[in-house]
Every structure is written in C-alpha cells, then in structure tokens.
Amino acid sequence: MLLASGTTGLAQKKPPTAATIEQRVSSLLAQMTLEEKVGQLNQYSGRELTGPVSNRKTDLLNSIRSGQVGSMLNVKGVADTRAIQAEAMKSRLKIPLLFSLDVIHGYQTVFPIPLGEAASWDLAAIRESAHVAAREAAASGIHWTFAPMVDVGRDPRWGRVMEGAGEDTYLGSQIAKARVLGFQGEKLGSTDAIMACAKHFAAYGAALAGRDYNVVDMSEQQLWEVYLPPFKAAADAGVATFMNSFNTLNGIPATGNSYLQRDILKGQWQYPGFVVSDWGSIKEMVAWGYSLDKADAAQKAITAGSDMDMESDAYSASLAQLVKDGKADIRLVDDAVRRILRKKFELGLFDDPYKFSDAKREKKVLSDPQHRVAARQIAQKSIVLLKNEKNTLPLTSQRKIALIGPLAKAKRDLAGSWIVLADTTQITSVYDGLTKRGGENAPRCFTPKAARCRATPAPASRKP
C-alpha cells in the first residue's frame, strides 16, 4: 500500500513549468556576486546551531545571514529548521537553505536496513519504505536525504554493505529506481517527498580489501557492466542529486574525477541535477597526494564537476580567489550554482521557505499508526529463512526456547545501523517478545555478557 500524499486543505498553487524555473534561476544568478555564488556551493553540519553559544555557532549564523551557505545537514525538526531558515532570510537575496539528513532506513519509523529490504525482492515494498521515510522527514523540515546508496557490494569486509542492495547489479538497479521514486514521488515539490541522492559515485563498493576510504582499481569493462548501471537507473528515475565518493578510481580521487562527473554523468548521461561531495572529500584529495593544498583541491573539484562542498571549507576559503586569479572557470561555478538553485525552485522554497516546516503536519505525520504497520509488513517480507531443519519453524507449544548471546535483551541494536531517532521505549527485545508470546515455553536461558548459558530460575509451577 502506498500512503496517500498529505494535504493542508488549502488550494494548491499550480506548479511552475521548467521554462519558468529556468527564467527565475537565470534572473537570480544575474543578481549574485561571486561571493554569493560560491556561498551556494557550501554545505555545513548544523549540530552546533541548536546547542549553546560557541565560536562555531556564531560563525555559522553569520555565514548564513550573509548568504555564504547553500545547505545545512544534521538539522532536523520543524522548530530548528524554521529558526535557521529565518536566518537565511536575513541575507541580501533571501535564498533559502536546503536542509539535508542521512535518512537511510526510516526517519522516526525504523525499517529494515536496505540490505535486508533487498532480500525481499519486493520493489513495491521497498518503494513504500522510502515513501514513509520521506513523508516523516519532510514533515520535520527536511528537504533532502543522502540515500539511496546504490553501490554494488561484493566484499563482506566492507562495512557499508548494510546501506546497499547487495552484490547483484540488476537487482541493485531496480531497487535504486524504486527508492528514488519512493523518496521523491513522480515529481519534486510535494510536502510528503524529499530529494534523493544516489551515492557514492562511483565504485566505492569495490574498495580494496573491503577497507573504507580505500583505493579502487578496476577495468573499464567491470566499471560499466557492474558498478555504473545502478547509478544510471537512479539518474533515469530522476534522482535529484548525486554524491561522489571517498575512494580513488584507478589512481584519481572520485571527487576530482572528470571522467566520472563531467564525461559520464553530466556528459553522456546529460544529468541535470547537482553533485555533492562526501563529507570532507574535497580536502581529502590533499591526503591522497592528488592536490597540493586545499585551494588546489577546490580548483580540481569544481573543474571535475563536484558542485557542492560538504564540510571541507575548500570552496568557501579559496574558490572566489581562484576565479579572480583565472585558475577556476566562472562558467563552471555558474553551472554549479544554477543546478543547486534549480532544485530549490523545484521544491518551491523560493515561494515559501518554510514550506516543509509545519508543526501541525509534523505532529500528525509522526503519529500516523499506518507507518508502523507498513514497517512490520516490510520487515516480514525481508526475513530470509535459509534452512528450516526438522521444521523448527513455526514454533509450537511443544518446543522450548533458549536465547544465547549478548543481544538477547538488547533494544537499541535492533534498530540497526545509521538511524535518525533511537526511541528504545518503542522497541521490544527478542527476550521480552518471546517471553510475552512463549507462554510455558518462554525463554529459560539468557547470556547478557558471558559466553556460556546461564539458566534463569523458573516459577515453581514450570519446569526449566
């Protein structure tokens, strides 16, 4: 079941046409100073903005008010997003911020990890999962998620396999499309949808020895046949953004890789969205030995097609001067800014910067009981029974149950990795669940820390 789109009960404005948006983008771009253009290319984490006064908080607020920030991540909730957006409205051109967050497998309602969902092979269920996550995130003031991860992962040593669809290129491509459509709907602008981001471009899942941030060394054939198809599927589905990756590809960091970003993505695929760097990946080109310093990294990143700098301070510190010195092409800067502004117009943020920050909608959506129903259904479809020796399942009244291991009574662990909210009061541990449902055969054996089984004393009326 696909949950219905939320409405406010007010007459909806007719969405602007693509031509109208391009006219508005061009008009705004013509009014911008070089510094304001560079400002749109900067993204910072906003955790400090909701905390006590600090130098970092003061600097961020001043940057926002002066139009030096295009996007914030790690700010969530209607109250905080509305307050910080109000600071952006103090800037000269009043260009709204994009609020982004890692919504990987649910916002408030937690769904199975993406790898678990992939095991269901149920594309409609996977799309539903992304839609519910988007609905909740959008109701909390979020415009953009850094998902889906569409990397093909064939090395179990790589810790990020949980974020993807596994090792099959075809299935990964189908799931990439389903998740993009789930997050975004058929068209950007609805308040029950958010921008998606296909990551990590490209071949991050093939990091040498499964080591995160490592090198990737592969043939053109393997790149095109195995690792690029899910990204192409996401692009064809209309994914709003791409994220480049930390790894090198055949000696060149993906963030500074013109072949990936200019030749393939924006060239052959004619991709109209924008590319955001992974966290600090522009300045990390210095660590790779590919750039002399952060300024050189900024020049190589913008030239290669990386539009938005996430948490490197490379563009903010150096890009304007690089343009003035003739070391960076202003046409590339303008193209990057145009791509970002276009998405802000498509979301409707210029018409209403607080469009996604509605307290009543937040309360209503986050309390929707149908979301938990959807999560339970998708979890059931994601369960894979590899072997049912001696018909162990389904459990009957004749069977006794032993729980062994440190996670038997765990709650937070059951939510999986990389979640937004961890409300353990809403989580039932395996032990508690089986105790409630097991009756006479409730768990009699539990080891919270020890490796061996310790018997739990049974009531006098029961046998252990």
List, by residue number, the catalytic residues.
Answer: 278
What φ, ψ does residue 247 adopt, rounded to 5°?
Answer: -75, 165
Rounded CA-CA distance 343/338 in Å is 9
Residue in 72, 68, 81, 80 with CA at minimum distance from that of residue 43:
72
Q: Are 185 and 5 in contact (CB under 8 A)?
A: yes
Taken in order 366, 371, 372, 375, the sign of the CA dihedral is negative
Q: Give residue 132's Cα distance to chain centre.
A: 14
The maximal CA–CA distance of the chain, rounded, in angstroms, is 86
Taken in order 47, 52, 55, 60, the sign of the CA dihedral is positive
What three-state secondary structure class fits 406? coil
Return the number of other C-beta atoms located less than 10 Å from residue 235's C-beta.
23
Q: How many residues does the chain have?
A: 464
Cβ-count burial 352-383 (b if 16+ within 10 Å, e if not): ebebbbbeebbeebbebeebeebbeebbebbe
**Cα angle, residue 366 at apex, residues 49 and 342 outer, rounded to 5°:** 60
Taken in order 227, 231, 236, 237, the sign of the CA dihedral is positive
Joined together, the tokens standing for residue 25 give 């983008």
**Cα angle, residue 1 at apex, residues 6 and 377 outer, rounded to 5°:** 115
What φ, ψ does residue 195 adopt, rounded to 5°?
Answer: -70, 140
Joined together, the tokens standing for residue 320 give 């304007």
Q: Is 61 exposed, middle or buried (0-12, 13-18, 19+ CB in 10 A)?
A: middle
Cβ-count burial 324-336 (b if 16+ within 10 Å, e if not): eeeebeeebbbeb
Cα→Cα distances 140→59, 114, 115, 192, Å: 25, 22, 26, 10
